[in-house]
A and B are shown apart, each in its own frame.
Chain A
């Protein structure tokens, strides 16, 4: 059963068409790889799925609900979390605080309830809530960041900050996780670690859409692949089949003559 799907999504930026009539479905519990040459529209697709952009045409359907027009925070509230190609962690907060922020139950009535609540509760600071901290510690442990718990996020090495972003996304208790190049800039050992982490997340039943340039990573963990080229979907299916698809080879290598 599809948990998240797009129906004929087109996205124009002025005269530039970044996505052209893209339809695909992410099945519940699967890991789907999203690949394509630079500028193919992969990140645009994730931005649309996560509510950062709204499609010019077409729809995004999540569990039967049309979420095409929802803002990013509401999309996240529904159960879709994401990471960014260039990390967007909260640099001057600690690692623990990064995760705690994402765990806050924001409810329907918004920030005033949180302000009000801050005056009427026993734990007088967010980091004194034992249960929340225990949950956050668990998440940090699952991505191997527990030792860095009280470090400021800006002091983390790059690989660690990418993992922190994953932990932060998981802290919002998502059903779907959108990963935008989780292993870019990592060395091979770190990439292997990243694959392990992503697999563990998937084993908890979270469906994953992952953009990745590192072929080893993507072939290793994806159940299925889709390929974008100049904003259009040119292939979809089993990783092996897609990898050998002549259209895909041509998109990457620029045709037989130039290979």
Chain B
């Protein structure tokens, strides 16, 4: 079983490495890069909400903090974006820790409202602190990742490999974390907080820790996007970005490692496909379709695509697992 998994993982890696060499269309390559960035972003949201059960609706805050921090460090202080990306992540982590504090007392819809408020405040700051952020015009001319060995990270093709390495690293971390005793404790906390405390899990410290870790990767993904697009605006801090992560994760499978990966790739390509539909009907149908997909997921396939897959595998194995 383990050997078979390793073969599949190896094949997957080779496929990922070869993909942009086979598909030379720059537009598709661009979509692949965006998919990878959203793999990191939605997976980090999944860690807070899917694994720990803390309904965080302000994840865009971390995305934006990472992006603005790294971009401003590069623009104003000349910090290398390679370092800036991690500093942006760390700053987001600090914000995550702060946001984790109200999460100790709130849950469910109350936590959702608080976290939305947090992101919204930051969006308004980014809109109005014109001297620093240029307001709704956004920051442009953000330096790209500096090249080395003659490689420049300004093309879709080269950036794809940076994003792939970043996503692989992030997923490796998520895998280690979720499969550790820490990850198990998070899931226990999600299932029953009082039960978790009764067996020695100090839920406060676990919540703060997971908020911090998840925010780091959220910020890291944002910084990656900033140096790829080289243009960011306060929209990155909007509720829409959080919903992007939410929809991707829910459709892929909440609380699974693979779910947000599948969801991110699927929805990135779907939303681009919908752009043609939008041109045809002259209407912003993207969000309507997202909403529809979410409702269908919640009503008919609770576990998302991964849930369907598990069920199908359970049935074909014939071990009589409940549907």
Residues of A within 8 A of B (CB): 50, 52, 71-74, 76-77, 81-82, 84, 88-93, 97-98, 100-102, 104, 106, 110-112, 114-115, 117-119, 124-126, 155, 168-169, 171-172
Query: Measured between alpha carbons, how far is A104 from B181 in the docked complex, in Å?
Result: 7
Chain B residues with CB under 8 A of A98:
188
Considering only CB atoms, which chain B residue lies closest to A100 in the complex? Answer: B184
Is the C-beta of B262 less than 8 angstroms from some C-beta in chain A?
Answer: no
A106-B201 contact, Cβ under 8 Å, with A52-B194, A88-B192: yes
A111 touching B184, Cβ below 8 Å: no
Chain B residues with CB under 8 A of A74:
202
Query: Measured between alpha carbons, how far is A236 from B182 in the docked complex, in Å?
Result: 43
Query: Measured between alpha carbons, how far is A182 from B201 in the docked complex, in Å?
Result: 23
B200 touching A73, Cβ below 8 Å: yes
- Nearest Cβ in chain B — how far from A126, in angstroms? 5
Chain B residues with CB under 8 A of A92:
187, 191, 255
A76 touching B184, Cβ below 8 Å: no
- Fill in one digit per residue for B177-194: 1 if any A CB lies within 8 Å of its CB, else 0: 101111111011001101
Is the C-beta of B199 less than 8 angstroms from some C-beta in chain A?
Answer: yes
Query: Measured between alpha carbons, how far is A71 from B201 in the docked complex, in Å?
Result: 10
Chain B residues with CB under 8 A of A89:
191-192, 195
Q: Could you list 25 examples of A-B contacts with CB < 8 Å?
A: A52-B194, A73-B197, A82-B198, A90-B191, A90-B196, A93-B184, A101-B184, A106-B200, A110-B205, A110-B209, A111-B182, A111-B202, A111-B205, A112-B209, A114-B185, A115-B177, A115-B213, A118-B180, A118-B183, A119-B176, A126-B183, A126-B184, A169-B198, A169-B199, A172-B200
Query: Measured between alpha carbons, how far is A126 from B181 in the docked complex, in Å?
Result: 6
Query: Measured between alpha carbons, how far is A112 from B212 in the docked complex, in Å?
Result: 11
- Nearest Cβ in chain B — how far from A212, in angstroms? 19
B198 touching A90, Cβ below 8 Å: no
A77 touching B176, Cβ below 8 Å: no
Query: Measured between alpha carbons, how far is A77 from B191 in the docked complex, in Å?
Result: 21
Chain A residues with CB under 8 A of B180:
114-115, 117-118, 125-126
> Which residue among A84, A101, A119 has the maximum number of chain B CB atoms within 10 Å of its CB?
A101
> Which residue among B183, B188, B205 has the maximum number of chain A CB atoms within 10 Å of its CB?
B188
Other 6 A-B pairs with CB < 8 A, given A93-B184, A124-B179, A126-B184:
A82-B198, A88-B194, A97-B187, A101-B187, A110-B209, A118-B182
Chain A residues with CB under 8 A of B279:
none
B197 touching A90, Cβ below 8 Å: no
Is the C-beta of B118 less than 8 angstroms from some C-beta in chain A?
Answer: no
Is the C-beta of B131 less than 8 angstroms from some C-beta in chain A?
Answer: no
B201 touching A73, Cβ below 8 Å: yes
Considering only CB atoms, which chain B residue lies closest to A106 in the complex? Answer: B200
Considering only CB atoms, which chain B residue lies closest to A109 in the complex? Answer: B205
Is the C-beta of B206 less than 8 angstroms from some C-beta in chain A?
Answer: yes
Chain B, range 72-101, C-beta contacts under 8 Å to A: none
B192 touching A90, Cβ below 8 Å: yes
Considering only CB atoms, which chain A residue lies closest to B202 in the complex? Answer: A73
- Nearest Cβ in chain A — how far from B221, in angstroms? 19
Looking at the complex, which one of A93, A111, A119 makes contact with B187 (CB distance below 8 Å)?
Answer: A93
Chain B residues with CB under 8 A of A169:
198-199
